[in-house]
Structure 1
Amino acid sequence: MTDKLTITGLSKRYGAFLALAPTDLAVAQGEFLSLLGPSGSGKTTLLSLIAGLSAADGGQLRINGVDVTHSAPYERDIGMVFQNYALFPHMTVEENICFPLKMRQQPAASARRQAAQALEMVRLPQLAQRYPRELSGGQQQRVALARCLVYRPSIILMDEPLGALDKKLRDQMQWEIKRIHRELGTTIVYVTHDQEEAMTMSDRICLMNSGKIEQLGSPSDLYFRPRTLFVADFLGESNLFAGQVEQVQGSVVRVELAHGGLRVGAGCSSALRVGSRVRVMVRPQNLCLQEDPVGPTVSATGASLRGQVLDSMITGSLTKVYVQTAADAPVVVSYPTAWPAQRHAPGQAVSLHWSAADAVAVPE
């Protein structure tokens, strides 16, 4: 795939505050890239620079190979979908969708035909003559998406477009946006602070922190092979056990935990050295809980810990159990909820087991 968007050394300051450190990023034609991170991480600043709504202090931004670093937003061939929909309340749905075509001096008949096609795409053809106030939140967001799609921009930028919707509507709209992305093959850059949303929708995730890219890769890369402690802790739930590197063999390291040595994968082997302090990350679903406790052990193939149940809860499809072990923080275990669902009693003695293949060492 060729690069639709290329960013080289792009940066932004607001006075003494560095909102975006010099950043390099390439987005392929037809890719769905999510900018994920906590508040203040730089994701919205980066989106604003791509859109041309803010002026970069340094670096270069190219779309389709053309330098647009200092171009006006209307010269960049981009479309934007906002969280607040930004629909004109005095216009019908059809008129809202036709508006960008009118600004491009499209003939009225052609604009109405393209608007009808856009409404078919978002599955709202029957609502063309309604006003925004007569629509639900999910319908308004679909209209905003149709208005963006109607003139077929080179890149679509979405700034937390589903943040104002309830969970059920949000889940439905995630599916709709992915369906449209597959059908059109449009390049999408999507800002969100919702980890699950980014994992569900993205081809790649650009996880940002303190104005810089912390890790860039597929959802599975970031989830199962985090390169930093921030990534391991931010994306999903994780259990982190303190240890020290004893041996490095390519992408596999031997880590000494409190009860012995364990061979695990290295999320970032180039940053690990013999003697380095690390955290061994194990996801909750990769832990096995036994009600007949055994003593703590660590071997090349796996490990086990003894502990006491602090609490357990049924969250719907998953049951979570919190266990206090010799580790500093409680360990969380999750498994599919099955009927009859039973809670583990607080104080119950249990042991936890995991495979070395399901663990990864992250630099501390």
Structure 2
Amino acid sequence: MADKLVITGLTKQYGQFVALAPTDLRVAQGEFLSLLGPSGSGKTTLLSLIAGLSVPDGGQLLINGVDVTHGAPYERDIGMVFQNYALFPHMTVEDNICFPLKMRKLGESSARRQAAQALEMVRLPQLARRFPKELSGGQQQRIALARCLVYRPSIILMDEPLGALDKKLRDQMQWEIKRIHRELGTTIVYVTHDQEEAMTMSDRICLMNGGKIEQSGSPRELYLRPRTLFVADFLGESNLFAGVVTEVQGDEVRVELAHAGSRVRARCSAALCVGRKVRVMVRPQNLCLQAGPTDPTNPADMLAGQAMRGQVLDSMITGSLTKVYVQTAADTPVVVSYPTAWPAQRHAPGQELILHWNAADAVAVPE
């Protein structure tokens, strides 16, 4: 698909502090892109530069093929949705939504008609005559979204719009935003520090760290095939075992684990060579628990060394998942998770266990 937004070498500094290193990014027409990362990673700086709220120190920014690098926000055909809603308290819901249309010199009747359509889109037509103070937080956020959608901007920028909502309402709003995105095919750039939110909503995630893009790809790619240690550690929960590459065979490597002295197989998403220090990442849900000593006749224990011995430290039910923390020879306790169910085996502290996993579920990432 055609590129809606093209960023080339865009950079921003505040004195000696580099808020955004030279950055290249393309966003396709109709794509939902999330800018994800910890505080200070550069995601809000990048969004501000796209919006025209900050002036870049270098680089170029194109929207619909037009250079708007130094253009004013109103010249960019963008809409913004903020965390604090930014609704006018003295205006009704309908007037709030009509406001951007009136600023564009649209007639009264046309503005009212389009506002009604926008309210239908967010499923709140019955609230047209109310004032913002009479709405819940979720309703106010949907009205803010309707006000942004009503004039059909080329790109919608969202800066942590669901951060002030409770979890249940946030989950509902995620679904609503995705539904509207599918129906309209609008291009959305969405800033969040919530990993689950980014994984749930995005076509593509741009994970940022230290003012630069660490890795960009689909949620599946970043979660299952991280290319750096930061990505493996930041996105989701993971167990990371230190080791050294001893053999390379295409996209698979053999790694000698530092703490166990055994060799395991793992996939690799980045180029690796023999002797390279790596971490072998295994997600908690991909680890299996087996009580008692290893049985060499059991195929589950003969996974080319894909196993280690440990002792239960603790177990807890977190809701849909039960987590077991196991102390092995590794530096930190290993986390194992599985679906919570009444018949599931209970693991008492001190119990001896064998952990094992499939080589296809392990990924070697460079130190």
Q: Which amino acid aligns with 2:264?
A: L
How far apart are residue 290 of structure 1 and its match?
Answer: 1.3
Aligned counterparts, 1:18-57, within 5 A:
18-57=18-57
Q: Distance in 2 between matches of 1:177 and 1:51?
A: 20
Per the alignment, residue 365 of structure 2 pairs with 362
Per the alignment, residue 219 of structure 1 pairs with 219
Per the alignment, residue 332 of structure 1 pairs with 335
Per the alignment, residue 266 of structure 1 pairs with 268
**CA displacement 1:248-289 (0-9 Å, x = unmatched):** 222111111233222211021x2x111000000000000001
Identity, % of aligned pairs?
A: 83
Q: Is the 2:138–2:169 contact (alpha carbons within 8 Å) kept by the matching residues of 1?
A: yes
Correspondence for 2:350 among 347, 351, 355: 347
Q: Is the 2:301–2:356 contact (alpha carbons within 8 Å) kept by the matching residues of 1?
A: no
Q: Is the 1:262–1:298 contact (alpha carbons within 8 Å) kept by the matching residues of 2?
A: no
Structure 1 gap segments, 5+ residues each: none
Q: Distance in 2 between matches of 1:342 and 1:300?
A: 23
**CA displacement 1:100-131 (0-9 Å, x = unmatched):** 00000000100000000000000000000000
Q: Distance in 1 between matches of 2:269 and 2:237?
A: 17
SS where residue 294 of structure 1 aligns? coil
Q: Which amino acid aligns with 2:153?
A: P
Normalising by structure 1, report the TM-score: 0.97
Q: Is the 2:294–2:301 contact (alpha carbons within 8 Å) kept by the matching residues of 1?
A: no
Q: Distance in 2 between matches of 1:300 and 1:333?
A: 18
Q: Is the 1:79–1:149 contact (alpha carbons within 8 Å) kept by the matching residues of 2?
A: yes
Q: Is the 1:245–1:253 contact (alpha carbons within 8 Å) kept by the matching residues of 2?
A: yes
How far apart are residue 26 of structure 1 and its match?
Answer: 0.2
Q: Distance in 2 between matches of 1:244 and 1:33?
A: 35
SS where residue 94 of structure 2 aligns? helix
Q: Distance in 2 between matches of 1:203 and 1:150?
A: 23
How far apart are residue 291 of structure 1 and its match?
Answer: 1.9
Q: Distance in 1 between matches of 2:325 and 2:269?
A: 26
**CA displacement 1:4-38 (0-9 Å, x = unmatched):** 00000000001110000000000000000000000
**CA displacement 1:284-330 (0-9 Å, x = unmatched):** 00000112232899976561111111110001100000000011100
**CA displacement 1:141-163 (0-9 Å, x = unmatched):** 00000000000000000000000
Q: Distance in 2 between matches of 1:139 and 1:342?
A: 44
Normalising by structure 2, report the TM-score: 0.96
Q: Is the 2:32–2:190 contact (alpha carbons within 8 Å) kept by the matching residues of 1?
A: yes
Per the alignment, residue 202 of structure 1 pairs with 202
Per the alignment, residue 143 of structure 1 pairs with 143
Q: Distance in 2 between matches of 1:298 and 1:133?
A: 62
Q: Which amino acid aligns with 1:339?
A: W
How far apart are residue 341 of structure 1 and its match?
Answer: 5.8
Pick which of 289-298 and 154-163 moved more: 289-298
SS where residue 101 of structure 1 aligns? helix
Aligned counterparts, 1:1-364, within 5 A:
1-257=1-257, 258-268=260-270, 270=271, 272-294=272-294, 301=304, 303-340=306-343, 343-364=346-367
Q: Is the 1:20–1:45 contact (alpha carbons within 8 Å) kept by the matching residues of 2?
A: yes
Q: Which amino acid aligns with 2:348?
A: A
Distance 1:63 1:158, change over 3 A: same
Q: Distance in 2 between matches of 1:89 and 1:181?
A: 27
Q: Distance in 2 between matches of 1:175 and 1:254?
A: 42
**CA displacement 1:223-271 (0-9 Å, x = unmatched):** 0110110000000000011111112222111111233222211021x2x
Q: Is the 1:10–1:61 contact (alpha carbons within 8 Å) kept by the matching residues of 2?
A: yes
Q: Distance in 1 between matches of 2:114 and 2:289?
A: 57
SS where residue 183 of structure 2 aligns? helix
Distance 1:137 1:302, change over 3 A: farther
Q: Distance in 1 between matches of 2:2 and 2:363?
A: 33
Q: Distance in 2 between matches of 1:289 and 1:342?
A: 10
Q: Is the 2:265–2:306 contact (alpha carbons within 8 Å) kept by the matching residues of 1?
A: no
Q: Which amino acid aligns with 2:81?
A: V
Q: Is the 1:204–1:217 contact (alpha carbons within 8 Å) kept by the matching residues of 2?
A: yes
Matched residue pairs, number?
Answer: 362
**CA displacement 1:62-92 (0-9 Å, x = unmatched):** 0011100000000000000000000000000
SS where residue 141 of structure 1 aligns? helix
SS where residue 357 of structure 2 aligns? strand
How far apart are residue 340 of structure 1 and its match?
Answer: 4.4
